[in-house]
Amino acid sequence: MSAILETRGLSRSFRGLRAVHAVDFTLERGEIRALIGPNGAGKTTFVSMLIGRLAPDAGTVAFEGRDITALPDHARVARGMAYTFQITSVFSRLTAAENVALAARRRLGTDRAAVAREVAEALARTGLGDRAEVAAEDLSYGHQRLLEIAMGLAQRPRLMILDEPTQGLAESEIAAFKALIRDLAAETTILLIEHNMGVVMELADRITVLNFGEVLAEGTPAEIHADPRVQDAYLGTERAHA
């Protein structure tokens, strides 16, 4: 495998408070990688720098071997990155189909037939085919999260970054989500920021653990589960709140 995304020395502080410090991170092409850590570990800040929503104080971000540190978020999307947010960012008054069509047009332009095919496929894959004409604001929160994923799929990205994608999903929907991610892994690289440890342990090839803005541990699900540092910093706390 070869790296699709790399950071070197990535750092960001806010008013003297160190949120992310000197993070070296390598995501291999075709991998499902999970990023976990306790609240305040720096996950959101780190991902915001990956997608271009936040500029680092130091360090670099490279995508497919090219330095993208200075590129804005829309330019990163154009290069093949897609992402969903922890807070949904759909257009509430547009239908599900219209939301996905907006994303598809970024890649396909004004070819209506091609856009329609892409919309139908993306909605079907995310289980929203029967909700195509429902306004996004009338969808449940969980279905809005799936709609965001459908919008990402319509762009045919080479990297999908999913931030808390199972939040708000029912158990049956989580099962369908896991099946979707396994299916997607054959065609795109996935970075999953997720608190549901059952989902993480079942889906991830490797896991990166952030704590206090630094990489605490990295390894397979079995290695991370057995790591006493991770047990102390995160997994023990997660079980206590389960």
Read out DSSP for 200-242? HHHH-SEEEEEETTEEEEEE-HHHHHH-HHHIIIIIHHHHHT-
pTM: 0.89
Q: Does residue 214 contact residue 184 with C-beta atoms inside 8 Å?
A: no
When pLDDT is cut at 50, 70 and 90, the band that residue 98 belongs to is very high
**Does residue 173 or residue 23 have the better pLDDT?**
23
Q: Is 115 in the same domain as 132?
A: yes
Q: What is the CATH number of the domain that holds 176?
A: 3.40.50.300
128 with 105, same domain: the answer is yes
pLDDT exceeds 90 at position 45: yes
**Contact in structure between 167 and 86 (CB atoms under 8 Å):** yes
Tell me the C-alpha distance between 100 and 106, whole Å. Answer: 10
Task: Tell me: do 115 and 4 sit in the same domain.
Answer: no
Q: Name residue 3's beta-bridge partners.
A: 28
Q: Over the stretch 157-212, which tens digit does the pLDDT of each residue have?
A: 999 999 988 988 888 889 989 999 999 999 999 999 998 999 999 999 999 999 99
Residue 19's pLDDT is: 95
Q: Look at 23-32, 198-207, 228-237 and tell me which has the smallest mean pLDDT.
A: 228-237
Does one domain contain both 68 and 169? Answer: yes
Q: Output 86 or 130, whichever has higher pLDDT.
A: 130
Task: Note the pLDDT of residue 241.
Answer: 44
Which pLDDT value is given to residue 135?
97
- pLDDT of 236 > 70? The answer is no
21-25, 82-86, 148-152, 179-183, range with greatest mean pLDDT = 21-25
Q: Is the pLDDT of residue 240 over 50?
A: no
Instruction: Give alpha helix (H) positions in 79-111.
Output: 96-108
Q: End-to-end CA distance of the chain: give it in Å, rounded.
A: 36
Same domain, 73 and 134: no
Question: What pLDDT score was predicted for residue 42?
Answer: 93
Is the confidence at residue 239, as pLDDT, over 70? no
Residue 238's pLDDT band, with cuts at 50, 70 and 90, is low
For 88, residues 6+ apart whose C-beta sits below 8 A from its C-beta are 141, 144, 145, 147, 148
Identify each DSSP E strand in the chain by its residue range: 3-14, 17-28, 32-36, 58-63, 66-67, 81-84, 159-163, 189-193, 206-211, 214-219
Percent over 90 (pLDDT), the chain: 75
- Give φ, ψ of 16 to 5 degrees: 85, -10
Alpha-carbon torsion angle 78, 84, 87, 90, nearest 10: 60
Burial zone of 204 (CB within 10 Å; 0-12 exposed, 13-18 middle, 19+ buried): buried
Do 119 and 214 lie in one domain? The reply is no
Query: Are residues 145 and 35 located together in one domain of the fold?
Result: no
Which of 156, 186, 206 terminates a domain? The answer is 156
Range of the domain at 213: 1-80+161-242
Which of 106, 137, 156 terminates a domain? The answer is 156
pLDDT of residue 85: 65
* Same-domain status, 24 and 68: yes
Report CA-CA distances (Å) from 66 to 21, 46, 137, 152, 214: 22, 19, 38, 22, 24
Q: Are residues 204 and 242 in the same domain?
A: yes
In whole angstroms, what is the distance from residue 94 CA to residue 212 CA?
39
Integer Cα distance of 230 and 210 in angstroms: 9
Domain-ending residue, one of 156, 183, 204: 156
Partner residues linked to 190 by β-bridges: 32, 160
